[in-house]
A = this chain, B = another copy of it.
Amino acid sequence: MVDLSVKIGALTLANPVMPASGSFSTEYAQVIDINRLGALVAKTVSRNFRAGNPTPRAAEVEAGMINSIGLPTKGLQYFLDVQLPDYKQYTPPLVASISAEDADDFQAMARDISAPGVDAIEINISCPTRKPGGGNFALQANHTRDIVARVRSVTDKPVWAKLSPNAGEIVDVALAAEEAGADALTVANTILAMKIDVASFRPALGNKVGGFSGPAIKPIIMRMVYQISKAVSIPVIGCGGISNAEDVIEYMLAGASAVEIGYINFRNPTAMISIIDDLRDWCDKRGIKRIADLTRAVRDDDMETDIYAAAAQGL
């Protein structure tokens, strides 16, 4: 029987499957046994109450969805008083997710959320639709470096930096986060996208543009996980378009140590449990003893680079 456990720095997860921030809450306990998950990732919180963006907040697109929720939150105090104890009824490690207006605020938030029971902090520096006050700091390496460094200086908790696929030079951003002391990188948040309703001529989202998630984005994020894993030495967490166990394997081969899963929970609320079971079967069938061995196991070193030689063999 395969050992499904994985390590993200000092933190050990029973298996590599976590929900993605914003797609999960303890309300999922209504439908699945959430103690089976590798870790629980909470919805992003910011210091004060935020209502979020205007409706409609989501629209279906080919192979996924776009959303512009706008990070609604009841604020940090509510998280600490109500949500944290709620999460701690369950056994998996808890990853808190924070957002802030600026670097100062990120630093203060990281300090204030470092309560007992929080096992890691994911800094959401990459929300594409958050307003006002900017938000997508992960578009640039210098902002990323600054925020990660300041967060690092005030907490002993593992810090995971959640990157933005909208960045033009995502490897540079990843390197900046590593350099500044991030313990892991979550790759990635949603891709900025749009849909217009041809019947009404109106944007499908109240916010006009929104973040794209679901199976459609997987090949793009896969490439980013692959490029980033080659460049950094801290663990990478793959996040984008996972809809079955083979997608998790693919992300691990590309370089991920674990994964976060968003959209597919909406389509099939039992998906994460099924994925964990299927990962076990997939590994057992192939005699893989430790799933962690799949991380960065892509066989790309001996690929044929001569065009004529490649096109002479097989496919």
Binding site for B on A (CB under 8 A): 51-56, 61-64, 66, 70, 139, 166-169, 191-196, 198, 200-203, 206, 208-209, 212, 215-220, 222-223, 226-227, 241, 246, 249-250, 253-254, 297-300, 303-311, 315
Contact = CB atoms under 8 A, between A and B. Distances in A.
A216 to B, nearest CB: 4
18 contacts: A51-B307, A53-B307, A54-B303, A54-B307, A54-B309, A54-B310, A55-B307, A66-B219, A139-B168, A166-B168, A168-B169, A198-B249, A200-B299, A201-B298, A206-B303, A206-B310, A208-B300, A216-B219
Query: Shortest 10 CB-CB distances between A and B: which pairs?
Result: A168-B168, A54-B310, A193-B219, A216-B216, A194-B223, A63-B63, A62-B215, A201-B299, A55-B311, A194-B222
Contacts of A193: 219-220, 222-223
Nearest to A243: B62
A198 B168 contact: no
A182 to B, nearest CB: 20
A61 B218 contact: yes
A38 B37 CA distance: 54
Q: Which of A167, A195, A306 has the most CB of B within 10 A?
A: A195
A304 B55 CA distance: 9
Given A139-B168, A191-B220, A250-B196, A202 B303 contact: yes
A122 to B, nearest CB: 22
A62 B263 CA distance: 14
A220 B299 CA distance: 30
A16 to B, nearest CB: 14
A174 to B, nearest CB: 14
A311 B194 contact: no
Given A166-B168, A311-B55, A315-B56, A219 B203 contact: no
Contacts of A196: 222, 226, 250, 253-254, 298
Nearest to A306: B54
A15 B70 CA distance: 39
